[in-house]
Structure 1
Amino acid sequence: MAAGSPPRRIVVVGASLCGLSAAQALREEGFSGEIVLVGDEPERPYDRPPLSKQVLRGRCGPDTTLPCRPDLDLRFRLGTAAAGLDPRARRVVLADGGTIAYDRVLIATGTRARPWPGDPGSGPLHTLRTRRDAERLGARLADRPRRVVVVGGGFIGCEAAASIRAMGLDVTQVVRETVPLVQALGDAVGAMVAEVARGAGVDLLTDRGIDGIEAAGGETAVVRLDEGRRIETGCVLVALGAVRNVEWLAGAGLAVSDAGVRVDAECRALTPDGRVVPDVFAAGDVAQWPSAVYGGARLAVEHWGNAVAQGRVAARNMAAAGGPLARHDHLPDFWSHLYGLTVKLVGVPDGADRFAVVQGTLRERRFVGIYGAGERTVAAVSVDSARWLPAYRAAIAEGAPFPPFTGALDQPGFAPHPLATA
Structure 2
Amino acid sequence: MSHAPFVIVGGGLAAAKAAVTLRDEGYEDDLVIVTGEAHRPYERPPLSKDYLRGEADRSAVFTVDEDWFARNAELRTGEPATGLDPAARRLSLADGSTVDYKKLLLATGSNPRPLPIPGSDLQNVHLLRTVEQSDLLASALHESERVAIVGDGWIGMEVAASARQLGREVTVFGLGAEPLERVLGPEMGLVFAKLHTDHGVDLRRRTQVAKILGEDGKATGVETEDGKRVEADIVLIAVGATPNTGLAVEAGINLRAKDLGGGIAVDGTLRTSGPDIWAAGDIASIPSSRYGRPIRVEHWQTALDTGPHAAKAMLGAEEPYDKLPYFFTDQYDLGMEYLGFVAGPDAYDEVVVSGSVESLEFVVFWTKGGRVLAGMAVNTWERMAELESLIRAEEPPGTEALQSFR
TM-score higher than 0.5 = yes
Residue in structure 2 matched with residue 112 of structure 1 by the alignment: 111
Q: 2:120 touches 2:212 (CA, 8 Å); kept in 1?
A: no
Aligned partner (choices 367, 377, 380) of residue 382 of structure 1: 377
Give, as a single letter, the amino acid of the residue that structure 2 aligns with 1:46: Y
| CA 1:400–1:127: 2 relative to 1, 3 Å | farther
| CA 1:361–1:249: 2 relative to 1, 3 Å | same
Q: 1:265 touches 1:327 (CA, 8 Å); kept in 2?
A: yes
Residue in structure 2 matched with residue 332 of structure 1 by the alignment: 325
Give, as a single letter, the amino acid of the residue that structure 2 aligns with 1:401: P
Alpha-carbon distance in structure 2 between the residues aligned to 1:62 and 1:73: 22
TM-fit CA distance, 1:196 = 1.3
TM-fit CA distance, 1:262 = 0.6
Q: Report whether the alignment pairs 1:30 with 2:26.
A: yes
TM-fit CA distance, 1:71 = 7.5
Aligned partner (choices 282, 287, 294) of residue 284 of structure 2: 287
Residue in structure 1 matched with residue 132 of structure 2 by the alignment: 132
- SS of the residue aligned with 1:89? coil
Give, as a single letter, the amino acid of the residue that structure 1 aligns with 2:324: L
Alpha-carbon distance in structure 2 between the residues aligned to 1:247 and 1:38: 15
1:331-362, Cα deviation, whole Å (9 max, x unpaired): 11110011210011100121532333332122
Q: 1:180 touches 1:193 (CA, 8 Å); kept in 2?
A: yes
TM-fit CA distance, 1:247 = 1.7
TM-fit CA distance, 1:386 = 2.7
Gaps of 5+ in 2: none
Q: Which moved more, 1:400-409 or 1:350-359?
A: 400-409
TM-fit CA distance, 1:242 = 0.6
Residue in structure 1 matched with residue 365 of structure 2 by the alignment: 370
Give, as a single letter, the amino acid of the residue that structure 1 aligns with 2:319: A
Q: 2:122 touches 2:219 (CA, 8 Å); kept in 1?
A: no
Root-mean-square deviation (Å): 2.0
Alpha-carbon distance in structure 2 between the residues aligned to 1:335 and 1:405: 26
**TM-score, length-scaled by structure 2:** 0.92
Residue in structure 2 matched with residue 55 of structure 1 by the alignment: 51
Counting only pairs closer than 5 Å after superposition, residues 16-165 of structure 1 correspond to structure 2 as 16-63=12-59, 64-68=61-65, 69=68, 73-117=72-116, 123-143=123-143, 145-165=144-164
Q: 1:377 touches 1:400 (CA, 8 Å); kept in 2?
A: no
Q: Which moved more, 1:126-135 or 1:365-374?
A: 365-374
Q: Report whether the alignment pairs 1:356 with 2:355.
A: no
TM-fit CA distance, 1:46 = 1.4
Residue in structure 2 matched with residue 233 of structure 1 by the alignment: 232
Q: 2:353 touches 2:402 (CA, 8 Å); kept in 1?
A: no
Alpha-carbon distance in structure 1 between the residues aligned to 2:171 and 2:202: 5
TM-fit CA distance, 1:8 = 4.9
1:365-393, Cα deviation, whole Å (9 max, x unpaired): 11101011234211001111133332121
Gaps of 5+ in 1: 271-276, 412-422
**TM-score, length-scaled by structure 1:** 0.89
Q: 2:9 touches 2:108 (CA, 8 Å); kept in 1?
A: yes
Alpha-carbon distance in structure 2 between the residues aligned to 1:34 and 1:122: 44
| CA 1:254–1:216: 2 relative to 1, 3 Å | same
Residue in structure 2 matched with residue 416 of structure 1 by the alignment: none
| CA 1:218–1:142: 2 relative to 1, 3 Å | farther
| CA 1:75–1:218: 2 relative to 1, 3 Å | same
- SS of the residue aligned with 2:275? strand
Aligned partner (choices 331, 338, 341) of residue 345 of structure 1: 338
* Identity across the alignment (%): 35
TM-fit CA distance, 1:146 = 3.2
- SS of the residue aligned with 1:293? coil
Counting only pairs closer than 5 Å after superposition, residues 252-271 of structure 1 correspond to structure 2 as 252-256=251-255, 259-270=262-273
Alpha-carbon distance in structure 1 between the residues aligned to 2:120 and 2:80: 20
| CA 1:86–1:67: 2 relative to 1, 3 Å | same
TM-fit CA distance, 1:120 = 6.5
TM-fit CA distance, 1:228 = 1.4
Alpha-carbon distance in structure 2 between the residues aligned to 1:48 and 1:15: 10
1:276-302, Cα deviation, whole Å (9 max, x unpaired): x2211111111111012212x111101
Alpha-carbon distance in structure 2 between the residues aligned to 1:71 and 1:132: 23
Give, as a single letter, the amino acid of the residue that structure 1 aligns with 2:37: E
| CA 1:354–1:279: 2 relative to 1, 3 Å | same
Residue in structure 1 matched with residue 215 of structure 2 by the alignment: 216
| CA 1:364–1:37: 2 relative to 1, 3 Å | same
Q: 2:43 touches 2:300 (CA, 8 Å); kept in 1?
A: no
- SS of the residue aligned with 2:250? coil
Residue in structure 2 matched with residue 273 of structure 1 by the alignment: none
Alpha-carbon distance in structure 2 between the residues aligned to 1:95 and 1:374: 51
Give, as a single letter, the amino acid of the residue that structure 2 aligns with 1:191: L
Counting only pairs closer than 5 Å after superposition, residues 388-407 of structure 1 correspond to structure 2 as 388-401=383-396, 403=398, 406=401
Alpha-carbon distance in structure 2 between the residues aligned to 1:206 and 1:142: 27
TM-fit CA distance, 1:410 = 6.1
- SS of the residue aligned with 1:302? coil
Residue in structure 2 matched with residue 274 of structure 1 by the alignment: none
| CA 1:21–1:76: 2 relative to 1, 3 Å | same
- SS of the residue aligned with 1:117? coil
Residue in structure 2 matched with residue 420 of structure 1 by the alignment: none
Q: 1:284 touches 1:302 (CA, 8 Å); kept in 2?
A: yes
